[in-house]
């Protein structure tokens, strides 16, 4: 893992997204998948599972039986010919995911979503979807996470072309181009003695999860994610005794409920992609009023924060 190369990986996000958009426009990435599976089971660990949970929620909203499991679980759906298993591993070598997939091979239809051609997860798979994110020289899943989300969105909506991904590329470029204006202030606001907390609505919980992971993985700082509505039931207590500092990704009907406590307790919240009453600051970017663009873009704020803290110790 390398802080400088991690930043380079982030700077390459827009061009990487443009390549993915072109591939989505060309079509064919999902040719051969079952058209109407009875069940869709996503398997993965870490960032892969974060993205999968969003996709499973979207499929359930369409009335489709879908779940995103830890690949490490010893319980779960049994193999079934009517089940589509989507196994996600950027490196293609996640031990837990390989073990979980092995239980389904030969019975369930298995598609592998990976960034590495010919990796172990592709062996025995019925179908392979390439992430097309390019090598991540910094050793941190950043572009692969973004591409996983985009491809899972396309999997849940087979009519999706590259237009959303192109808007996300524009939004990403906007954040990168203007980082000298917004990043120093965010770094100062979030740099407290008790870590960073990240808060997002259920529909974009992957943004909170991934953002917290970036702070833990690179600079090795304490960071924890929470769903916005659940925050008032599980994390609000920390605002009483901690110097509580958080990134909030607005869009939940429960933003105001959380911010009432933030204002009362004098906690520090930076909003990403929107404005909330009581915020200490906000980071806006192009197309941030589009929830799809937000889902694919907003983690870049925490990634750039993490890259800076990591580089400067």
| Domain limit, last residue, from 160, 188, 209 | 160
Answer yes or no: do 13 and 152 share one domain: yes
Kindly indicate the confidence band of residue 1, based on its pLDDT and cuts at 50, 70 and 90.
confident
Kindly indicate the confidence band of residue 50, based on its pLDDT and cuts at 50, 70 and 90.
very high
Residues in contact with 227: Cβ distance below 8 Å, sequence separation at least 6, in sequence order: 199, 200, 201, 202, 205, 208, 252
Judge whether 165 lies within some domain: no
Nearest 5°: the CA angle 104, 110, 113 is 125
| Domain limit, last residue, from 138, 160, 182 | 160
Answer yes or no: do 140 and 12 share one domain: yes
Residues in contact with 138: Cβ distance below 8 Å, sequence separation at least 6, in sequence order: 1, 2, 3, 4, 5, 6, 7, 8, 9
Rounded distance between C-alpha atoms, residue 138 and residue 115, angstroms: 15
Answer yes or no: do 14 and 123 share one domain: yes
- Torsion of the alpha carbons at 117, 121, 127 and 133, rounded to the nearest 10: -40
Judge whether 267 lies within some domain: yes
DSSP-derived secondary structure letter, 274 = S
**CA-closest candidate to residue 244, choices 265, 215, 214:** 265
Answer yes or no: do 93 and 199 share one domain: no
Answer yes or no: do 212 and 260 share one domain: yes
Residue 71 exposure: Cα atoms within 13 Å on the Cβ side: 28
| Domain limit, last residue, from 136, 160, 184 | 160
- Taking only Cα atoms into account, the Rg of the chain, rounded to an integer number of angstroms, comes to 19
Whether 188 shows a pLDDT value over 90: the answer reads yes
Whether 168 shows a pLDDT value over 80: the answer reads yes
Judge whether 167 lies within some domain: no
The residue-averaged pLDDT of 115-123 equals: 96
Residues of the domain holding 199: 174-312
The residue-averaged pLDDT of 203-212 equals: 98
Residue 98: CB atoms within 10 A of its CB come to: 19
Cβ pair 121, 94 in contact under 8 A: yes
Rounded distance between C-alpha atoms, residue 298 and residue 10, angstroms: 13
Answer yes or no: do 50 and 156 share one domain: yes
Find how far residue 216's CA is from the centre of its chain.
Answer: 15
Rounded distance between C-alpha atoms, residue 44 and residue 70, angstroms: 6
Judge whether 65 lies within some domain: yes
Judge whether 168 lies within some domain: no
Quote the pLDDT of residue 264.
96
Where b means 16+ CB within 10 Å and e means fewer, 35-53 reads eebebbbbbbbbbbbbbbb
Answer yes or no: do 256 and 295 share one domain: yes
Rounded distance between C-alpha atoms, residue 117 and residue 115, angstroms: 7
Answer yes or no: do 78 and 131 share one domain: yes
Whether 313 shows a pLDDT value over 80: the answer reads no
Judge whether 238 lies within some domain: yes
Helices 205-217 and 299-311: crossing angle, nearest 10°?
Answer: 10
Number of domains in the chain: 2
Answer yes or no: do 94 and 118 share one domain: yes
**Mean pLDDT for the chain overall:** 97
pLDDT in tens, 15-30: 999 999 999 999 999 9
Query: Where do we find the tokens 């803290």?
Result: 309
Kindly indicate the confidence band of residue 155, based on its pLDDT and cuts at 50, 70 and 90.
very high
Rounded distance between C-alpha atoms, residue 277 and residue 34, angstroms: 46
Rounded distance between C-alpha atoms, residue 229 and residue 238, angstroms: 15
Quote the pLDDT of residue 298.
98
Quote the pLDDT of residue 91.
96
Judge whether 166 lies within some domain: no
What CATH number has the domain bearing residue 239? 3.40.50.10490
Answer yes or no: do 144 and 40 share one domain: yes
Judge whether 150 lies within some domain: yes
Answer yes or no: do 143 and 186 share one domain: no
Answer yes or no: do 251 and 286 share one domain: yes
Rounded distance between C-alpha atoms, residue 165 and residue 296, angstroms: 8
pTM across the whole model:
0.96
pLDDT in tens, 224-271: 999 999 999 999 999 999 999 999 999 999 999 999 999 999 999 999
Quote the pLDDT of residue 79.
97
């Amino acid at each position: 893992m390398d802080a400088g190369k991690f930043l380079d990986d982030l700077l390459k996000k827009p061009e990487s997204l443009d390549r993915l958009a072109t591939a989505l426009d060309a079509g064919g990435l999902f040719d051969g998948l079952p058209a109407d599976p009875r069940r869709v089971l996503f398997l993965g660990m870490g960032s892969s599972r974060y993205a999968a949970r969003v996709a499973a929620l979207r499929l359930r909203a369409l009335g489709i039986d879908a779940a995103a499991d830890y690949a490490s679980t010893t319980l779960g759906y049994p193999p079934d010919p009517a089940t589509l298993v989507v196994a996600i591993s950027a490196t293609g070598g996640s031990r837990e995911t390989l073990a979980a997939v092995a239980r389904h091979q030969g019975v369930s239809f298995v598609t592998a979503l990976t960034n590495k051609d010919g990796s172990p997860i592709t062996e025995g798979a019925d179908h392979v979807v390439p992430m097309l994110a390019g090598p991540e020289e910094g050793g941190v899943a950043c572009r692969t996470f973004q591409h996983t989300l985009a491809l899972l969105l396309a999997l849940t909506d087979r009519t999706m072309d590259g237009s959303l991904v192109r808007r996300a590329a524009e939004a990403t470029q906007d954040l990168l181009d203007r980082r000298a204006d917004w990043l120093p202030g965010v770094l100062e606001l979030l740099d407290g003695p008790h870590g960073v907390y990240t808060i997002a609505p259920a529909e974009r919980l992957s943004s909170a999860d991934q953002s917290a992971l970036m702070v833990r993985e690179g600079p090795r700082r304490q960071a924890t994610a929470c769903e916005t509505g659940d925050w008032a039931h599980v994390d609000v207590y920390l605002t009483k005794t901690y110097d509580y500092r958080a990134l909030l990704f607005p869009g939940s009907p429960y933003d105001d409920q959380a911010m009432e406590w933030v204002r009362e307790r004098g906690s520090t919240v930076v909003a990403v992609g929107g404005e909330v009453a009581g915020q200490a600051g906000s980071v806006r970017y192009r197309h941030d009023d589009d929830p799809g663009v937000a889902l694919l873009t907003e983690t870049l704020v925490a990634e750039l924060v993490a890259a800076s803290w990591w580089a400067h110790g």
